[in-house]
Structure 1
Amino acid sequence: MEQVNKGARILVVDDEPQIRKLLKVNLQAHQFEMIEAVSGEEAIYQISREHPDLVLLDLGLPDQSGMDVLHLVREWSSIPIIVLTAKERDADKIAALEGGADDYVTKPFSMGELVARIRVALRHAGGAVQEAVLNFGRLRLDFAQRSVELAGERVKLTPTEYDLLKALASHAGKVLTQRYLLQEVWGGHHYESDSHYLRIYIGHLRKKLEEDPTRPKLIMTEPGIGYRFTLQDEV
């Protein structure tokens, strides 16, 4: 795992000197290299010229919206982007995720959580989620065999339950919006009123996989947004 992260170059796009200083100290302490940009224009220049491994992008920039930067970058790059936002509205977070962000962190944030999110994004960029077998502690998913084991015992899932678990586990550590999961598992066009399908099947999975379904540790709810399948190193 550390080999994935060691020496990774992270571009921090934020116009607040205090935030950049805080991030520089902490990122360097975790063996990351940090470069900086204070505006959207500078961010686009740095991404195109310096080719960082990951971007931490503040949405409130002096020259243009961070969302505009996100959309522009996504036209030509799949670089991992984690949005830093002081906005609490679920709609803003959903817009960032559906606009191409890999994740978001709300200010003020925990450095431990941010570093864990960075590691997840770098791991995804490295292609680890394309493996045919995924292991999450006691849980083992074999995509080739369409099988799921918990503590060595086969877990019987319906086709829909399996497809939902596969979607979540394949993006472990990332927030997946309700709309994305509905589209991925059920296909077609879905609306807010269809989210009850998702809640029902999430409940089924928790009953079959969680030690205590009322206090889930694998499949976490991101209120108003969607769900996140957790990793062992998340804080």
Structure 2
Amino acid sequence: MYNGRYNNMVKGYDRFMKKILIVEDDKGLNDGLVYDLREEGYEVSSALTAMLALKTFRLQEPDLVLMDVNLPDSDGFTLCSQMKRLRDVPVIFLTARDLEQDEMRGFDCGADDYMTKPFSMALLHKRIGAVLKRSGRGREQNLYSDGHLTADFDKADVTLDGKPLTLTPTEYKLMKLFIDQRGKVLTRQMILEKLWDANGNYVDEHALTVNIGRLRRKVEQDGNKYIKTIYGMGYMWEVRDA
């Protein structure tokens, strides 16, 4: 169970693995948004052009797109329509165009929200959370229970057979990643990239091995096995019936 000093360290972990694509040709604003949203706990990618945005969209499969209307090689309305045809992903427009007809056009092409510049970052955080929640992506995998292990990722509260289980922040992040991707093989490189590289930090493979071992010892009690080693490939959280 998390309390005291752990509360700040797990801030934003309920957003962990929620991917946001920022499409903004103003590099200063683009970089600022990337930094801010990573600090909020999101996994963020960005593009300065519509062409790169569409390529990144296909590769990264984001949970939400923040998009400017005015782009150097296209316009956001056209790009939004193209993305919506590929996959129904939430889109929030961020633009200086504040005419009602532009806002209506944004909603007509499938946008979920429309914010005019300049905007408050605190308000943007609220809008993102609301859109993700409406789309069903904001609370994905936020509660896990299989009859033995229960994890409430909204409250950062983990119990094993009804007893509070204390995890370090890194162990907690590992467990969240495994549960979100349960039934899928994760290579060591994938785990390292998902947990640390996105924020510009680095943890070596030895630290990863140590943390997986510690997590196993804490959750795999009384013969319950969760983290399966797939030799030559990586690890997998085994799917269990509740």
TM-score by length of 1: 0.51
Structure 1 counterpart of 2:44, from 34, 48, 54: 34
Determine if the alignment matches structure 1 residue 86 to structure 2 residue 96: yes
- Residues 128-177 of structure 1 deviation map (CA, whole Å, 9 limit, x = unaligned): 89xxxxxxxxxxxxxxxxxxxxxxxxxxxxxxxxxxxxxxxxxxxxxxxx
State the 4+ residue runs in structure 1 displaced beyond 6 angstroms: none
How many Å apart are 1:115 and its aligned residue? 0.7
CA distance in 1, matches of 2:32, 2:137: 30
Answer yes or no: is the 8 Å Cα contact 1:56–1:83 preserved in 2: yes
Alignment of 1:4-43 (within 5 A): 5-43=15-53
Answer yes or no: is the 8 Å Cα contact 1:5–1:122 preserved in 2: no
Alignment of 1:38-117 (within 5 A): 38-117=48-127
Read off the aligned partner of 1:29 and give its amino acid letter: E
CA distance in 2, matches of 1:9, 1:127: 10
CA distance in 2, matches of 1:21, 1:102: 23
CA distance in 2, matches of 1:20, 1:127: 23
How many Å apart are 1:7 and its aligned residue? 3.1
The structure-2 alpha-carbon separation of the partners of 1:68 and 1:25, relative to structure 1 and needing over 3 Å to count, comes to same
- Residues 16-65 of structure 1 deviation map (CA, whole Å, 9 limit, x = unaligned): 11111211221122111210111111111111111111100111100011
Where 1:108 maps in the other structure, the secondary structure is coil
Read off the aligned partner of 2:15 and give its amino acid letter: N
How many Å apart are 1:5 and its aligned residue? 2.6
- Residues 164-212 of structure 1 deviation map (CA, whole Å, 9 limit, x = unaligned): xxxxxxxxxxxxxxxxxxxxxxxxxxxxxxxxxxxxxxxxxxxxxxxxx
TM-score by length of 2: 0.50
The structure-2 alpha-carbon separation of the partners of 1:26 and 1:127, relative to structure 1 and needing over 3 Å to count, comes to closer
How many Å apart are 1:3 and its aligned residue? 6.3
Answer yes or no: is the 8 Å Cα contact 1:4–1:122 preserved in 2: no
Counterpart residue number, 1:141: none
- Which structure carries more relative contact order (alpha carbon 8 Å, separation 6+)? 2
Read off the aligned partner of 1:92 and give its amino acid letter: D
Residue ranges of structure 1 left out of the alignment (5+ in a row): 130-235
Answer yes or no: is the 8 Å Cα contact 2:129–2:138 preserved in 1: no
CA distance in 2, matches of 1:24, 1:99: 25
CA distance in 2, matches of 1:23, 1:100: 22
Counterpart residue number, 2:136: 126
Where 1:68 maps in the other structure, the secondary structure is helix
Answer yes or no: is the 8 Å Cα contact 1:9–1:33 preserved in 2: yes
The structure-2 alpha-carbon separation of the partners of 1:13 and 1:128, relative to structure 1 and needing over 3 Å to count, comes to closer
Superposed CA RMSD = 2.0
Percent sequence identity over aligned pairs: 32
Q: How many residues align?
A: 129
Alignment of 1:170-185 (within 5 A): none
CA distance in 2, matches of 1:128, 1:6: 10
Where 1:36 maps in the other structure, the secondary structure is strand
